[in-house]
Structure 1
């Protein structure tokens, strides 16, 4: 079966009228932004967005989001981060978190970014998931879609605010004109040609190496990559035989990804993967490793 959810986009405007350009660009940009976030989070087939109704009062558009991926049973709906069936609730959460992150930074780079498990703490007080912050700092396509969305809103000077509500009327976002201005500021991370991101990740070991100078071959998000291991304590334990690996064994790590932008295509390429640390406690708890003690 397919799943669907309603999302209400409310443009606050004194009179119940809006320019055709503002409406078309806002809706097109909003649709592009949702699609870009879906592509960043999962390899599922996509979503269909339909405008269901226009409501009186402020200019409100009820969007019906329909997941195009068929789900055989509720158990098939696994988390986005694993690349499984996309859950519309999770996509909406990703959207609101992305917009909150962009409005908070307001066209500036984060002064400080601290990692707290699966979250990044920006400037000491703004919490976003590592997934959202990585998308914000690396996805040129998502940044472009967001610009189209916010430029559409700004093209009609009568619009004084933006609100997003869920299908049960719960308020997800509420931006005033000043926050919309911050939301529309250029993303400074898109101006760089070198990017370094850190995240917690689970790699699948394909080809380990006892030589500390050689790279390991691991699977990351379904792709085989060469990985440099910098955790000396872990490497010593592997070399001494404390840890052994079979093909596809998991490795919970703090991963650093260095990438460069292709200036012709705008895509991030030439990725270099470095494991800064391995979760030894998690590794020891795995059944396969326990058999070695």
Structure 2
């Protein structure tokens, strides 16, 4: 009797493991083929000299890394990436929070405003960039027309190295702002009203309620947005490609655009692999730092 029960338990465990393998297997296969294998192969490419055409790849070991790190333009591109990510994420989170607080109020037509604000998120980045390239035109663009009303001339947004990066940041923030607003709104509506009522009873003013109730309640949402937004900015490509093509000179060239330029324009697979490894390392380190230190300040309850 005991042996039959043991055999029955064993068969049930085997069926559960088989079901688990059938369910998780396709996902692991897709992850392996489209994520882990490209990552490993890219790591391999960073140690070879190859132009995508030669049948054989020549091992050069760390020569590609030395060449990339010794280029002055590489550090300029890294700085461009930092500036782009810092201002894009910071402005998106701050302006998104302000708009979410506004649209969380019982205003007329707020649902329509939410829809309009979110609409750029679902649009193609290339389409958004084409529209804004006309808006930025210094001769007949919308910004030039508006500045002309007060007697000012529009700068050459996309042709001047001093204005190109602010223009790209402006377009990127405009496109992704609606996503941050919607996520913030979901967080605001999840904060219990009883906390605000209790704060009012204790004599807390609007600023105290915002600082001690709203911000702690939004901390999980803000943490999620900070992680996803930073990762997204490091992968932003389409807007830069269409608006400035990385120029003028390299004023708007970021690491992801530099990777594209080395790999698919210059056909330098080795140095492109180095840039990809550097980009992966930066994103991994930033994510670990956020998970290790920022998450400790998140109030989940």
Q: Which bin holds the TM-score, normalised by the shorter protein?
A: under 0.3
Task: Name the larger-Rg structure.
Answer: 2
Q: How high is the TM-score relative to the length of structure 2?
A: 0.20
Higher strand share: 1
Structure ranking higher on relative contact order (CA contacts 8 Å, 6+ apart): 2
Q: How high is the TM-score relative to the length of structure 1?
A: 0.21
